[in-house]
Amino acid sequence: MQAHDGMYIDGEWRPATSTDTIEDRNPADGTLLGTVPAGGPADVDAAVAAARAAFPGWAATPPSRRAELLAALHRVLETRHEEIARTVTRELGAPIGFARAVQASVPAAVCASYATLAAEHPFEERVGNSRVLHEPIGVVGAITPWNYPLHQIVAKAAPALAAGCVMVLKPAEDTPLVAQLFAEAVHEAGFPAGVFNLVTGLGPVAGQALAEHDGVDLLSFTGSTAVGRRVGALAGGAIKPVALELGGKSANVILPGADLTRAVKVGVANVMANSGQTCSAWTRMLVHAEQYEEAVELAASAANRYPPGDPEDDATRLGPVVNARQYERVTGYIARGEREGARLVAGGAEAPAGFEGGCYVRPTVFADVRPEMAVAQEEIFGPVLSVLRYEDTEEALRIANGTVYGLAGAVFAEDEESAVAFARRLETGQVDINGGRFNPLAPFGGYKRSGVGRELGTHGLGEYLQTKSLQF
């Protein structure tokens, strides 16, 4: 798609107030994909004003009609599936096969789920002598990341619109084209003007202006814990609700008796997907001492089956990371892991041969990782796996829970009952049992510093509703 040179505000593309622009580059080779406006506070003001003007009419729109428009949006996303996938591949570097299967398909499925929920959700209920109303909060400010750019937009926009809220979106500056594509889809689906608005811009400028805007009733942010802390403070100072989906350092706990080969293979695949740029990735693999060396060999072998490649090639499984800054961050952590004494069994900090011109990181596995090491404590956001040893299940639990994060995790065990018993003790918001599949209807969100609130399904819808009770 061609980049728009304006903002999508009040149902139309209009010029930005500033002539500043953001370059959008392909991380595979550095080529310029296009430029988009770098919006500022005045653009945010205009978008919030348009949203606020549209709110009364949209809130009063019957849920059945909101459901119809969300279903129309789903159809547009399905029709533009290949365009979405290729846009994400070029902006993010996600391999085209992964972009089709996940980056384009999952958001469409989430949109469809909210079309159903908008039609079926009980926005009123009786509790004794009270009538309880679940009403839209109002104007939602959404700030989304680059790693799953369309999914994170839809995971906020679809429930907000289903609830009767209106939205101003500030997407990540690394993936603005797919955000513009979503605005086109909203327009094509026929949503009323002002219900959805898009302002592209830099986080410290447009993002901050949106976070602290008095006309925003709720702020929903997905990104790093460090930025989330600042965003939360801005929103909290204004006494407005905030939803934060932040970082993770998830553990894949392989209990004795589990199918070790399968657990390691699935675990490595989880880390390598999207070049490791997944907040919920199982970047710590915990293995019993008696099986440890076998697991390390299996993990190294599995990682070596993810050679970096051209993301537009159907055969590629591992593309580049999103930009040069992220490349330096990830390779810096790899070098730090070696300095701290972790044993490198696959990959490394050097650029892969033949791909020195792009932001490519070799698939990396560390063994002999101690729980206190940086590679076991800090979110790297790259294709880097740390394998840790434990002596008994109590130690495994202490290690798994021994970070400031609590977003996701996995447990592999000989039987489901044992896996569930262990998962119940994990301090994390979502756990996959023996390789369980992603469920777009299940709540997603974290414990501890991994965030506040939940996305997806009815729990995600509830984030955009406020409660009023009428007594009779």
- Give me the half-sphere count of Cα atoms (radius 13 Å) on the Cβ side of residue 327: 22
| Strand partners for 124 | 133
- Alpha-carbon torsion angle 389, 394, 397, 401, nearest 10: -110
| Cβ 133 vs Cβ 123: under 8 Å | yes
| Cβ 439 vs Cβ 460: under 8 Å | no
- Give me the half-sphere count of Cα atoms (radius 13 Å) on the Cβ side of residue 98: 28
279 is a catalytic site residue: yes
* Angstrom distances, CA of residue 345 to CA of 297, 303, 365, 386: 8, 10, 6, 10
Written as six digits, the tokens of 332 are 């810096």
Longest dimension (CA), the chain: 74
Instruction: Please tell me whether residue 116 adopts helix, strand or coil conformation.
Output: helix
245 is a catalytic site residue: yes
Determine whether 314 is exposed, middle or buried from the number of CB atoms within 10 Å of its CB (0-12, 13-18, 19+).
exposed
* Angstrom distances, CA of residue 104 to CA of 82, 153, 167, 415, 470: 8, 12, 21, 34, 43
Among 245, 379, 455, 463, the active-site one is 245
Place of tokens 């469809």: 112
Instruction: Please tell me whether residue 93 adopts helix, strand or coil conformation.
Output: coil
d(CA 405, CA 248): 5
d(CA 17, CA 40): 8
Phi then psi for 227, rounded to 5 degrees?
A: -70, -40
Among 279, 359, 455, 463, the active-site one is 279
* Angstrom distances, CA of residue 374 to CA of 332, 387, 426: 11, 13, 21
Give the residue numbers marked as catalytic. 245, 279
